[in-house]
């Protein structure tokens, strides 16, 4: 992929980022992510399918609840919103092609100016999308997913598909209809629903059952419309327990899987698991991935991390290689991505104000997942964890244990067996520390 430069170069002095290996002192080079290197049967690039997130990388300006913007973009000064969107699209494609990720993701209003009327909103978005399509064709960059922002505008303060006011639900549906047209036009591999305000803040004024039924109907209509216009991608739900809503209906993987199965949506919908959302719900990132994988519903990943000492969605770039190794173990165990990928739903810190910081942040995230991928593949190749894990369940492989798994023994049969076995069952070690040591040996050996 050669780098795309639009009307103007927005990241001057920074060329394409290449792999230079762990000894390199060049901060603008990959130390571990070597896209063409084979890991197992696939290249690193094909395993990891990295995407850049428009909202964090080309819109987020470092504001926090206590302070104003700290990060400026070259397009900030442009007063004409459509001209600004074009500049931003040029900047985005320059960044993405210099970094070398095969994919990107966006919300409607990250890329195009929002508007009150549906007609103007749609016109703005379609204008920008025509330009994005041309840039995709010129560069080979693909759309991993798009989505509709149905949480920032004040009309969505009580939710979108779960809003008690039907007019708001219909307005949200218009955004999703246009979003699916856009997904189809741009060949998106997935379409995402993150229910930022699909939840509630007070039970006494909320009919939870009715709201959840509305959400299911809404998603069903979206699925049917998408399929009717030829959208072949995967629909993804992104779980998150809270923030901005106090209680969000898509709390975690297990909750979403139950919801999808109950409403018969599990053939078209999968999950987009975000690391920091999993940790906010009290789980480890790998836990939520495994729950989704076990249900055959692991679709895609929003790569980031939280902060151990606070309980909100800090969206930091992933740098913790233990966490990426655990994540890649689950992903490889599940057979890897089909339509999904690793989207950096991550933002540089408020005080990382240089344009180069955007590169450092992504380089670090990509290197961390490359390290995780390498380690996970080594662990799998050496059969280390599998042997220990399989051995723990060996008593179910033969004899009465197998009969139990095969449904050939009833409760009385188990009772009789336990009675005849005598009183004491020897302790079997779970070998937790041994396994932790094995992971360190692979990582640093």
Residues that bind ligand XUL (CB under 6 A): 107, 147, 192, 194, 238, 240, 274, 302, 313, 345
Nearer to ligand XUL, 55 or 225 (CB): 55
Using alpha carbons, select from 389, 397, 332, 261 the residue that is nearest to residue 47.
332
Q: Which does 145 bind (CB under 5 to 8 A by kind): Co ion, ligand XUL, none?
A: none
How many residues contact Co ion, by CB under 5 A? Answer: 3
Nearer to ligand XUL, 303 or 376 (CB): 303
* Contact characters 91-130, Co ion, x per CB under 5 A: ----------------------------------------
Residue 187 region by backbone torsions, left for phi larger than 0, else alpha for psi between -120 and 50, else beta: left
Query: In angstroms, what is the minimal distance from the CB of 165 to ligand XUL?
Result: 22
- Residue 56, C-beta contacts closer than 8 angstroms, at least 6 positions apart: 315, 344, 345, 346, 347
Least spacing, CB of residue 213 vs Co ion, in Å: 25
Q: Which option in ligand XUL, Co ion, none does residue 147 bind, with CB closer than 5 to 8 A by kind?
A: ligand XUL
Question: Does the annotation mark 110 as catalytic?
Answer: yes
Identify which of residues 86 and 302 has a Cβ nearer to ligand XUL in the complex.
Answer: 302
Stretch that binds Co ion, among 100-108, 139-147, 345-353, 380-388 (CB under 5 A): 345-353
Q: Which of 47, 56, 107, 214 is catalytic?
A: 107
307 catalytic residue (yes or no): no
**Region from 94-102, 155-163, 294-302, 324-332 binding Co ion, contact rule CB under 5 A:** 294-302
In the bound state, the residue with its beta carbon closest to ligand XUL is 194
CB 140 within 8 A of CB 84: no
Site for Co ion in 243-282 (CB under 5 A): 274
Based on the number of CB atoms within 10 Å of its own CB, is 336 exposed (0-12), middle (13-18) or buried (19 or more)?
middle
Minimal distance, residue 410 CB to ligand XUL, in Å: 47
- Asked whether 89 and 139 are in contact (CB, 8 A), the reply is no
> Shortest approach of Co ion to residue 341 CB, angstroms?
13
Interface with Co ion, residue 345, by CB under 5 A: yes
Q: Which of 90, 302, 313, 367 binds Co ion (CB under 5 A)?
A: 302
In the bound state with Co ion, the residue whose beta carbon lies nearer, of 86 and 315, is 315
| CB-nearer residue toward ligand XUL: 147 or 212 | 147
Which of 47, 56, 90, 110 is the catalytic position? 110
Contacts with 155 (C-beta within 8 Å, 6 or more apart), sequence order: 168, 171
Cβ atoms 10, 74 nearer than 8 A? yes
Residues annotated as part of the active site: 107, 110
Site of interaction with Co ion (CB under 5 A): 274, 302, 345
């Amino acid at each position: 992929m050669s780098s795309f430069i639009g009307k103007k170069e927005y990241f001057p002095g920074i060329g394409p980022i290449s792999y230079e290996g762990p000894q390199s002192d060049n901060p603008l080079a990959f130390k571990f992510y070597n896209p063409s290197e084979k890991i197992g049967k696939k290249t690193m690039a094909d395993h990891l399918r990295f995407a850049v997130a428009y909202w964090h990388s080309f819109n987020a300006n470092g504001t926090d609840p206590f302070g104003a913007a700290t990060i400026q973009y070259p397009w900030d000064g442009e007063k004409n919103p459509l001209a600004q969107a074009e500049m931003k699209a040029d900047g985005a494609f320059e960044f993405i092609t210099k970094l070398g990720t095969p994919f990107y993701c966006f919300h409607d209003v990250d890329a195009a100016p929002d508007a009150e009327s549906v007609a103007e909103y749609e016109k703005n978005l379609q204008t920008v999308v025509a330009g994005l399509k041309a840039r995709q064709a010129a560069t080979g960059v693909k759309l991993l997913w798009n989505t509709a922002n149905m949480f920032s505008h004040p009309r969505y303060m009580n939710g979108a598909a779960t809003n008690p006011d039907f007019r708001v639900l219909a307005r949200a549906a218009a955004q999703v209809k246009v979003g699916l047209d856009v997904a189809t036009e741009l060949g998106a591999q997935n379409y995402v629903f993150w229910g930022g305000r699909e939840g509630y803040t007070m039970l006494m004024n909320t009919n939870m059952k009715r709201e959840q039924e509305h959400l299911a109907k809404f998603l069903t209509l979206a699925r049917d419309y998408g399929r009717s216009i030829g959208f072949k991608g995967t629909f993804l739900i992104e779980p998150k327990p809270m923030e901005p809503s106090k209680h969000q209906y898509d709390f975690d993987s297990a909750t979403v899987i139950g919801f999808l199965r109950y409403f018969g949506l599990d053939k078209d919908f999968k999950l987009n698991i975000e690391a920091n959302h999993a940790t906010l719900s009290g789980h480890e990132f790998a836990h939520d991935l495994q729950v989704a994988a076990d249900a055959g519903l692991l679709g895609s990943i929003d790569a980031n991390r939280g902060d151990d000492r606070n309980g909100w969605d800090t969206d930091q770039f992933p740098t913790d290689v233990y966490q990426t190794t655990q994540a890649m173990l689950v992903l490889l165990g599940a057979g890897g991505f089909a339509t999904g990928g690793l989207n950096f739903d991550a933002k540089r810190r408020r005080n990382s104000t240089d344009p180069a910081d955007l590169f450092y942040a992504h380089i670090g995230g990509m290197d961390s997942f490359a390290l995780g991928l390498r380690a996970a593949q080594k662990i799998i190749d050496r059969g280390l964890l599998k042997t220990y894990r399989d051995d723990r369940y060996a008593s179910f492989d033969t004899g009465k244990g197998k009969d139990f798994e095969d449904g050939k023994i009833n409760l009385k049969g188990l009772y009789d067996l336990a009675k005849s076995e005598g009183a004491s069952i020897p302790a079997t070690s779970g070998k937790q520390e041994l396994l932790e040591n094995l992971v360190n040996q692979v990582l640093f050996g």
